Chain A
Amino acid sequence: MKIAKLAGKLADPASAEWGSVEAAQVSLGPVSLESQPTEYIRETWKGRKYGQTAQAAVKAASDGDRLYLRIEWADDAAPNKEFQDAAGALFPADGDGNLATLGAADKPLALWYWEEGRGSLNLVSRGPGVVTKDGNAGVGANGVLANGRWSVVISGPAAMAAKGKVGLAVWNGSNEERAGLAAVSQQWLPLESD
């Protein structure tokens, strides 16, 4: 996926600038039940579907200072009062990492995280839901829900593009998805500067 060089209101998912950027279609699948970190989660989600968001469209752009990722996916489920929809962009913190399990204890991933109503968090992910806060580090995010589709722009320092690849994760709040109960992209998406 090419990172488009652009200027303008890239933090706004509805901004016209995004119209010129080509989207990559990304296949997602559930983070495996076996990899979930606690017996409680494995037992109580056994036989219960999650991570069913199968497809997302992603665009990448940079204005030189910041890297912007615009993630769009279908979500027509009724909102849940307790749990909100969320999305994340994952980067290998140290060369490589296991995207399917959202990282591992010895191979953490950087996670730029957005949640409806909560805004953005800069996290380190060491497994499904095994996350720690890592300061703000200039991560920001905005989401818009329109016509049954979320459009979310997650952004952070442009230097992250040097990691060379990105993964995506989506949490469906209507289905009480949180922590490691997510849909994650099936493979790393290469990030290439334009």
Chain B
Amino acid sequence: MAATTKTSNRQLAWVYDLNKCIGCQTCSVACKVLWTRDEGEKHQWWMSVNTMPGLGTPKAWEEMGGGVDPVTGKPRPGHQPTRDEFGGGFDFNYHEVFYGGSGGKAHLEPQAPRENRWAMNWDEDQGAGEWPNSYYFYLPRQCNHCTNPVCLTACPTGALSKEDNGLVLRDEEVCMGDRFCMEACPYKKVYFNYDRHVGQQCIGCFPRIEAGVAPACVRQCPGRAVFIGYLDDETSSVHRLVKEWKIALPLHAEAGTGPNVFYVPPLAPNRLNDDMSIDYDTPRIPPEYLESLFGPGVHSALDLLKSEMDSVRAGGKSEMLSTLIAYKWQELLGPFTVDPATLTPNGNTGA
């Protein structure tokens, strides 16, 4: 029954530069205020940023299965993340603190059982490693709008579609809330609306895309760390970073779904020896950990980044670094450079 309406090979893609992401959650909040403020959406963060290494959101999502078996090509069973595993969406004791006359002794806290508490960014900045060699980095995550969307093929009602621009969208009128999509998704980026009984996920800000406006996560990033564009557009930054320079890599590509969100992997300072001298041979983030996330291509990607940096330090020029630095910030936006302030309520630009 699963259906696709795709008649084009175009594919929208995002690139997040993890060396520029500062974990400020502006993308998360930009998405939240735009799309998930209605009933049943309190716990939904279609865009989220987590500290890595970490358990992330939903809690321990990397252990929840889904995706495609690399040997048999068949769908792998997955766990449907529960409301508690997503956590968040708390009610707080605002009344007690602000109006109950006990503001001096009560403090704001979630009204959820303490043992069940988890939320979108719960393990922020915990990371891993021992001082002075502790380390962490930020990992922004959204729906990967996969080339092989297992959410779509798992759905019995045909609620999901692969659009001509590559976005994976859901018809909430057709969705029956069966949640096989949540099980099948290896990234656990489908949420369930318990009030309206439908699945929901990142829609790639498609009404903005259609009006030539970049998605909120891209447009609002203060670090200029996110790029969007069509992968087949050879002039686009995403094409050059992913296809030409191969320094932007998919997350957990071994899940076999062909994700279209890519990451420039994080460089790290060198380790410190016990006497606090610098160990120039050992990066503080273990390369094998990065390989477990971004695959074996992560080593050559980091080597290339380092050699480009060396070249610039020696007085040379690097088109790659200029792209990553985003001197021309509109290049982050691909073809979606229309100012969102020109959008009118019916979705057209007033310009």
Interface residues of A (CB under 8 A from B): 36-41, 43-44, 81-82, 118, 126-133, 176, 178-180
Contacts and interface: CB of A to CB of B under 8 A. Distances in A.
A56 B178 CA distance: 24
Contacts of A179: 156-157, 176, 178, 180
A156 to B, nearest CB: 19
30 contacts: A37-B2, A38-B1, A38-B2, A38-B154, A38-B180, A40-B150, A40-B154, A40-B183, A43-B74, A43-B75, A44-B77, A44-B78, A44-B183, A81-B82, A81-B83, A82-B80, A82-B83, A82-B179, A118-B197, A126-B1, A129-B157, A129-B178, A131-B157, A131-B176, A133-B173, A176-B80, A178-B178, A179-B156, A179-B157, A179-B180
Nearest to B72: A43
Nearest to B192: A82
Given A39-B153, A43-B74, A44-B75, A129 B176 contact: yes
Given A37-B1, A81-B82, A118-B197, A180 B156 contact: yes
Interface in B166-197: 173-174, 176-180, 183-184, 197
Nearest to B174: A132
Q: Which label, helix, strand, loop or mixed, suits the secondary structure of the A interface? A: loop
B231 interface: no
Contacts of A178: 177-179
B179 A40 contact: no
- Best-buried of A41, A44, A81, A176 by chain B (most CB within 10 Å): A44
Contacts of A133: 173
Interface in B48-81: 74-75, 77-78, 80
A81 B178 CA distance: 14
Given A39-B153, A40-B153, A127 B75 contact: no
A178 B74 CA distance: 22
A48 to B, nearest CB: 9
Contacts of B2: 37-38
B155 interface: yes
B74 A41 contact: no
A128 B156 contact: yes
B154 A41 contact: yes
Given A39-B74, A40-B153, A126-B1, 8 more contacts: A37-B156, A38-B180, A128-B156, A132-B157, A132-B174, A176-B80, A179-B156, A179-B176
A176 to B, nearest CB: 8
A135 to B, nearest CB: 12
Contacts of B178: 129, 178-179
A41 B180 contact: yes
Nearest to B155: A38
A178 B177 CA distance: 9
Interface in B79-99: 80, 82-84
A162 B78 CA distance: 44
A39 B174 contact: no
- Best-buried of A40, A82, A131 by chain B (most CB within 10 Å): A40
Contacts of A38: 1-2, 153-156, 180
A11 to B, nearest CB: 22
Contacts of B84: 81
Contacts of A128: 156
